[in-house]
């Protein structure tokens, strides 16, 4: 029997309890060890909940209990999660976490501490919820050099963008609906401004290239400026708009970015709709692969946490090798990244087509039904620097949205 302690009885914490309640017996049969929840640390009490008898309020009880081999950190946020995790690892206990903020900021450091103490620090649930991506990246795609990781890593914004694409509703209306349904928080900034996706791509890029990527250094643009009119153009071109989180190696330099982008219907991420997440990976030998599933939610996330607990049970007294050094990875200047750009301009196409063609070549100017006094066009593949320089010379630019060009596929 392996005793574990859960830090935090919130959504994921109660999900971990539920997964072990439901599947505990079959798990024990498969791995030859029963997993027993000895403590649940929470500031609150839960009278009437079967977990109440395991609730404790003092973390020292867990730290000082040599029976506890695995600590499950599902509190979220940096503190006290960081201090608690560090102390657990130093006390010779493995830690499984779903905390993307903690992993993005301190992952490399905590892995090093885990290694020193011959225990494990695992975080499958921190990216893509229930989707297996961390373990495939470190244990399956090992024969490849990762050329590109592009993910739809935030279910809230993917739900919103999907509804906008399919139903033609406005950004404000769909945000309100997402909040009413509980998919978006009252303060939706972390989701809609792209910060959540940014932390997750920081983790994936760090693991893919073996060094620390600071999420603060990743160019991050949210979906707050995406409108129902943008989708009219996208639909007309047979394209979708997705909030993409990208880590990519181009000519030996690593670019990372979070931004809404247009993708065509041939891209594997095109069909990833609603609250689902997916991570597209391109390896230099493997070619294209994609991992798809529920990126959030109590049970899918808890399923990934429990899979980590099981892996830690299997690896008691050995440290699973992970390639993530605390050395900083220098990201390339985003200005040198090349994309196609979709642009909307106010006014009549006739009046501006000469200047546009002079700058961007023979692009097609488009109009969409029920939208007057403006038009749109898609550029060829061009660097951000060059695009920004050229676009500044056109009057009345309404918006621009990056697009994945055909030649990048």
Residues involved in catalysis? 200
Chosen residue from 2, 17, 19, 257 binding a copy of itself by CB under 8 A: 19
Whichever of 153 and 391 has its CB closer to a copy of itself, that residue is 153
Number of residues located near a copy of itself, criterion CB under 8 A: 53
Among 294, 344, 390, 402, binds a copy of itself (CB under 8 A): 294
Pattern 164-203, a copy of itself, x by CB under 8 A:
----------------------------------------
Closer residue to a copy of itself in complex, CB, 30/57? 30
C-beta closer to a copy of itself: residue 286 or 334: 286
Q: How far is the CB of 188 from a copy of itself (least distance, A)?
A: 24
User: Which x/- pattern over 208-247 shows residues binding a copy of itself (rule: CB under 8 A)?
Assistant: --x-------------------------------------
Residue with tokens 């546009």: 356
Q: Shortest Cβ distance from residue 302 to a copy of itself (Å)?
A: 7
Residue 148 interacts with a copy of itself (CB under 8 A)?
Answer: no
Smallest gap from Cβ 291 to a copy of itself, in A, equals 6
Choose which of 76, 132, 326, 347 interacts with a copy of itself (CB under 8 A). 132
Residue 8 makes contact with a copy of itself by CB under 8 A: no
Contact 312, 132 (CB under 8 A): no
In the complex with a copy of itself, which residue's Cβ is closer, 141 or 237? 141
Query: Considering the rule CB under 8 A, would residue 306 count as an interface residue with a copy of itself?
Result: yes
> For a copy of itself, which stretch binds (CB under 8 A), given 139-147, 155-163, 171-179, 369-377?
139-147
CB atoms within 10 A of CB 148: 18
Ranges within 315-354 binding a copy of itself (CB under 8 A): 321, 323
Per-residue HEC secondary structure of the chain comes to CEEEEEECCCHHHHHHHHHHHHHHHHHHHHHCCCEEEEEEECCCCCCCCHHHHHEECCHHHHHCCCCEEEEEECCCCCCCHHHHHHHHHHCCCEEEECCHHHHHHHHHHHHHHHHHCCCCEECHHHCCCCCCCHHHHHHHHHHCCEEEEEEECCHHHHHHHHHHHHHCCCHHHHHHHHHHCCCCCCCCHHHHCCHHHHHHHHHHHHHHHCEECCHHHCEECCCCCCCHHHHHHHHHCCEEEEEEEEEEEECCEEEEEEEEEEEECCCCCCCCCCCEEEEEEEECCCEEEEEEEECCCHHHHHHHHHHHHHHHHHCCCCCCCCCCEEEECCCCCHHHCEEEEEEEEECCHHHHHHHHHHHHCCCCCECCCCCCCEEEEECCCEEHHHHHHHHCCCCCEEEEEEECCHHHC
Cβ count near 384 (within 10 Å)? 18
Which of 125, 391 has the CB closer to a copy of itself? 125
In the bound state with a copy of itself, the residue whose beta carbon lies nearer, of 102 and 272, is: 272
26 lies in the binding site for a copy of itself (CB under 8 A): yes
Q: Do the Cβ atoms of 73 and 101 come closer than 8 Å?
A: no
Q: How far is the CB of 295 from a copy of itself (least distance, A)?
A: 11
Q: Contact with a copy of itself (CB under 8 A): which of 76, 136, 326, 347?
A: 136
Is residue 253 close enough to count as binding a copy of itself by CB under 8 A? no
Picking from 250, 261, 389, the residue whose alpha carbon sits closest to that of residue 331 is 250
Shortest Cβ 290–a copy of itself spacing (Å) = 4
Figure out which of the listed residues 58, 66, 145, 172 binds a copy of itself, where binding follows CB under 8 A: 145
For 105, phi then psi, to 5°, come to: -85, -45
Q: Which stretch binds a copy of itself (CB under 8 A): 3-11, 67-75, 225-233, 265-273?
A: 265-273
**Could you say whether residue 206 binds a copy of itself (CB under 8 A)?**
no
353: burial class by Cβ within 10 Å (0-12, 13-18, 19+)?
Answer: middle
Give the residues lining the site for a copy of itself (CB under 8 A).
18-19, 22-23, 26-27, 30-31, 124, 130-132, 135-136, 139-145, 210, 268, 270-271, 276, 283-294, 297, 299-300, 302-307, 309-311, 314, 321, 323
């Amino acid at each position: 029997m392996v005793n574990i302690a859960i830090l935090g009885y919130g959504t994921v914490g109660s999900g971990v309890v539920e997964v072990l309640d439901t599947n505990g017996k079959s798990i024990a049969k498969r791995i030859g060890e029963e997993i027993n929840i000895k403590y649940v640390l929470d500031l609150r009490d839960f009278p009437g909940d079967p977990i109440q008898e395991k609730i404790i309020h003092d973390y020292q009880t867990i730290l000082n209990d040599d029976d506890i081999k695995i600590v499950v950190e599902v509190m979220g946020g940096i503190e006290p999660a960081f201090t608690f995790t560090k102390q657990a690892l130093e006390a010779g206990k493995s830690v499984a976490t779903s905390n993307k903020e903690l992993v993005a900021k301190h992952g490399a450091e905590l892995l090093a501490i885990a290694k020193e103490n011959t225990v494990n620090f695992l975080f499958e649930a921190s990216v893509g919820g229930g989707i297996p991506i961390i373990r495939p990246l470190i244990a399956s795609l090992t024969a490849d050099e990762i050329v590109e990781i592009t993910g739809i890593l935030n279910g809230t914004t993917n739900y919103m963008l999907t509804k906008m694409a399919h139903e033609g509703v406005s950004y404000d209306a769909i945000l309100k609906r997402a909040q009413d349904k509980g998919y978006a928080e009252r303060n939706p900034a972390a989701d809609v401004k792209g910060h959540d996706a940014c932390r997750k791509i920081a983790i994936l890029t760090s693991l893919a290239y073996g060094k620390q990527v600071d999420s603060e250094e990743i160019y991050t643009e949210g979906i707050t400026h995406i409108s129902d009119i943008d989708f009219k153009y996208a639909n007309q071109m047979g394209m979708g708009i997705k909030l993409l989180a990208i880590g990519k190696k181009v000519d030996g330099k690593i670019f990372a970015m979070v931004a809404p982008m247009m993708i065509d219907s041939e891209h594997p991420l095109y069909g990833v709709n609603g609250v689902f997440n997916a991570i597209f990976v391109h390896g230099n030998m493997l070619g294209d692969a994609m991992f798809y599933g529920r990126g959030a939610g109590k049970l899918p996330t808890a399923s990934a946490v429990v899979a980590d607990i099981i892996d830690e049970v299997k690896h008691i007294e050995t440290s699973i090798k992970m390639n993530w050094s605390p050395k900083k990875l220098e990201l390339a200047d985003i200005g040198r990244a090349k994309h196609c750009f979709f642009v909307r301009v106010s006014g009549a196409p006739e009046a501006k087509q000469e200047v546009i063609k002079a700058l961007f070549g023979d692009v097609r100017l488009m109009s969409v039904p029920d939208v007057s006094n403006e038009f749109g066009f898609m550029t060829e593949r061009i660097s951000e620097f060059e695009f920004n320089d050229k676009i500044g010379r056109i009057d009345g630019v309404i918006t621009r949205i990056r697009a994945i060009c055909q030649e990048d596929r």
